[in-house]
Copies of this chain bind each other. A is one copy, B any other.
């Protein structure tokens, strides 16, 4: 079958006997625990967008490995993240998901009050307690940083810089000016599958002709090229078919392209999985971000957001349904097979199966996971 409109680059041949992981990597609570403690508990985790903590006191909360974290911005404009735990009797301070502090952070129980840098500035009746010193009871801080409008936090003490984790991605995607984009739509999915199955699903398009006929019509599954696996991310690009302008229901693009993209990048979609929890999909005219929130070995909350140029969002008739509907359809197809995979792998009848050459990133990711667990249990 000739496919004159695409360039198929053959993939390297997989190592002899390359197979999928044993079931325990997807079902064993102790391996899940280790991944939460040592991957999610130590790496920089994609938490949200700068615009959600854009003004002083504006906040959002995230739960990472059992820690509820408030992300906000100080009076001087610095991004801050704190454990959402009052230093008095341990009360969770914010019970809303998003909101705005009125200049300070006040516990609803006994009104202990902290400034936006986390310093304790009010503690009723504690002045009667000898030797009590407010300076000893700040909110416990968590490191937070930003990359082109993406907020990352890490639970690790004295973490390496975020830039070290992101590596070449900072330079690679500079032209997209992600910091200028703003949220247009958000859908939260609750997927009954291990988080790694979602990453693996994201990193191959071998399933596209069968599962995503609409996607395959716009972007041929054999097109594009993958980068070799990097220590903290993996990804590649796929090409739009001739006549297709972006990934949308009909392939047309009702929006302006992102400024600064090269003519080549206007014809491509980039798909990068940034470990442990971010899936970044850059289109010629919009940015799609999935963040993964593992809840259990067999359950992952998946927050999917579409981001656009402010000039597009400001249009009177702005309507992103062409690309939101397209990806919502594709997402649902993907989560469904991820759930089927979780179900099948959970059967004692499951045995690891053979990878094709088109599943090179999965095999590489599996090695990363196996080596992580070997280090983790060493």
The interface of chain A, by Cβ under 8 A from chain B, is 10, 13-14, 16, 20, 23, 66-68, 83-93, 95, 108-111, 124-126, 128-132, 137, 140, 206-207, 209-211, 336-337, 340-341, 343-358
Contact = CB atoms under 8 A, between A and B. Distances in A.
B341 A91 contact: yes
Contacts of A13: 128-130
A55 B304 CA distance: 44
Contacts of A92: 340-341, 343-344, 347
A137 B354 contact: yes
Given A124-B206, A347-B66, A341 B131 contact: no
Given A67-B349, A85-B350, 20 more contacts: A13-B129, A20-B88, A20-B89, A66-B347, A85-B349, A86-B353, A87-B353, A90-B347, A90-B352, A92-B341, A93-B344, A108-B337, A109-B211, A109-B337, A109-B340, A110-B207, A125-B206, A129-B355, A129-B357, A137-B354
Contact of A129 (B88, B349, B354): B354
Contacts of A347: 66-68, 83-85, 90, 92
A128 B126 CA distance: 73
Contacts of A110: 206-207, 210
Contacts of A93: 340, 344
Contact of A126 (B111, B211, B354): B354
A340 B211 contact: no
Contacts of A352: 90
A341 B109 contact: yes
Contacts of A89: 20, 341, 353
18 contacts: A16-B130, A20-B90, A66-B347, A66-B348, A68-B344, A84-B347, A85-B344, A85-B345, A90-B353, A92-B344, A92-B347, A93-B340, A108-B210, A108-B337, A109-B211, A109-B337, A126-B356, A128-B356
A68 B111 CA distance: 42
Contacts of A108: 210-211, 336-337, 340
A182 to B, nearest CB: 31
A17 to B, nearest CB: 9
A340 to B, nearest CB: 4
Given A207-B109, A354-B137, A341 B129 contact: no
Contacts of A23: 90
A159 to B, nearest CB: 16
Given A85-B350, A95-B340, A356-B126, A109 B210 contact: yes
Contacts of A337: 91, 108-109
Contacts of A131: 16
Nearest to A65: B348
A7 B196 CA distance: 63
